[in-house]
Amino acid sequence: MLLDSTKTIKRVAISTGGGDAPGLNAVIRAATLSGIKRGWEMYGIRDGFHGLLTPEQYREGGIIRLNREKVRGITLLGGTILGTSNRNNPLRYPITLPDGSKEEVDRTDEIVRAFALHRLDALITVGGDGSLEIGNILAKKGLRVIAVPKTIDNDLDKTDFTFGFDSAVAFAVEGIDRLHSTAASHGRVIVVEVMGRYAGWIALEAGIAGSADIILIPEIPYDLRKVSEKILEREAAGRFFTIVVVAEGAAPVGGSLSVIQKEAGREKRLGGIGEKVAHEIETLTGKETRVVVLGHLLRGGTPSAFDRIIALRFGAAAVRALENGEQSVMIALEGQRMKSVPIAEAIGKMKSVPLDSDIIQTARDLSISFCEPD
């Protein structure tokens, strides 16, 4: 794991990739200030790795110098001052051939060459599974790489939490709270669709904290009859409204994922399950049902205090890892401490909600239904 730690670090580049998440700017600030403190020059790559692959598209150049001025006052800002991208992955970069056909090519060698051109000694890559995979390949090609895990989905393995998740859950809970009063006043069913990709963390935590009656997550395929039974049971008990929180990656038993779009060079776009579930509920129960898709609202806005703290800790820990001569590791939060794990161990495995976890049991004890078949 240790590379040539005798090679002095002078110039470090930071890249933010994948979907944005509240806390990215806090990581950039902490890494920049920690690096400057050690006498290093800090740089930011624009839009994931695009700044290195297509520098001609940027008026100020594809990489920018990060100084104290540039990172002042950004801890509380959502998004990323560097820009990000979850399309045109450099490992599978889509190109159009002269005959019009499409192909995906690996452009990571160009990134390695750009590092040499700009005399960059190390990379701090902040991102989700896609960025980790790219970081792993770049490390194999000789770059000194430290990864910082990011995603509102909280589905990265080997870290207890990713920053962005807490802010997303807090916003979802606020939304569910607001929907409660209108659902109760009208005696309606409201289906709230939240992001999370193939993991149910956001739906589960927001659903429990927001006192949902039904939570549908990818880890527990649901039975629609159970959904309507629960709604009608509540009705019989004088509870004329129901709040259903559904994760975008949830699917019925034997059914398939709800996919909006599949495009070359990027992940499938999930979505639409809320609308389907709402329609089916109305058909089965006859109850007036509305759907609210929280979508990208969960990714925007200012990071929570928890996310700011862990993001700042992740950024500072990444610089300490470089200083200690570490290579090809991801900074991970384990309990109260930051530690390093090999990137190779963190990729390829998603962190799903464990079905035997106390959080699932807590939901069951609160009579929240996952609507699985008997």
Torsion over CA: 214, 208, 167, 290 (sign): positive
Question: Least separation, in Å, of the C-beta of 361 and ligand F6P?
Answer: 25
- How far apart, in whole angstroms, are the C-alpha atoms of residue 114 and residue 307? 32
Contact at 8 Å (CB) between 221 and 252? Answer: yes
Three-state helix/strand/coil letters over 288-325? CEEEEECHHHHCCCCCCHHHHHHHHHHHHHHHHHHHCC
106 is known as an active-site residue: no
Specify the residue, 81 or 350, whose C-beta has the smaller distance to ligand F6P.
350
Q: β-strands 329-334, 337-342: how paired?
A: antiparallel
Q: Which residue in the shown chain puts its C-beta closest to ligand F6P?
A: 195
Question: Least separation, in Å, of the C-beta of 248 and ligand F6P?
Answer: 6
Question: Least separation, in Å, of the C-beta of 298 and ligand F6P?
Answer: 7
Specify the residue, 182 or 261, whose C-beta has the smaller distance to ligand F6P.
261
Specify the residue, 35 or 175, whose C-beta has the smaller distance to ligand F6P.
175
- Closest C-alpha to 303, from 119, 79, 129, 16: 79
Catalytic residue among 47, 153, 155, 157: 153
Contact at 8 Å (CB) between 205 and 170? Answer: no
Contact at 8 Å (CB) between 250 and 218? Answer: yes
What does the binding site for ligand F6P look like in residue numbers (CB under 6 A)? Answer: 19, 86, 128, 151-153, 195-197, 248, 269-270, 299
- How far apart, in whole angstroms, are the C-alpha atoms of residue 167 and residue 172? 9
Question: Least separation, in Å, of the C-beta of 272 and ligand F6P?
Answer: 12
Question: Least separation, in Å, of the C-beta of 128 and ligand F6P?
Answer: 6
- How far apart, in whole angstroms, are the C-alpha atoms of residue 185 and residue 240? 9
- How far apart, in whole angstroms, are the C-alpha atoms of residue 318 and residue 305? 20
- End-to-end CA distance of the chain: give it in Å, rounded: 48
Specify the residue, 33 or 216, whose C-beta has the smaller distance to ligand F6P.
216
Specify the residue, 193 or 326, whose C-beta has the smaller distance to ligand F6P.
193
- Closest C-alpha to 164, from 48, 271, 18: 18
Question: Least separation, in Å, of the C-beta of 88 and ligand F6P?
Answer: 12
Question: Least separation, in Å, of the C-beta of 294 and ligand F6P?
Answer: 10
Torsion over CA: 337, 343, 349, 350 (sign): positive
Q: Which residues contact 346 (CB under 8 A, 6 or more apart)?
A: 132, 147, 149, 156, 157, 158, 159, 330, 332
Q: Which residues pair with 125 in a beta bridge?
A: 15, 147
Show which residues are catalytic: 153
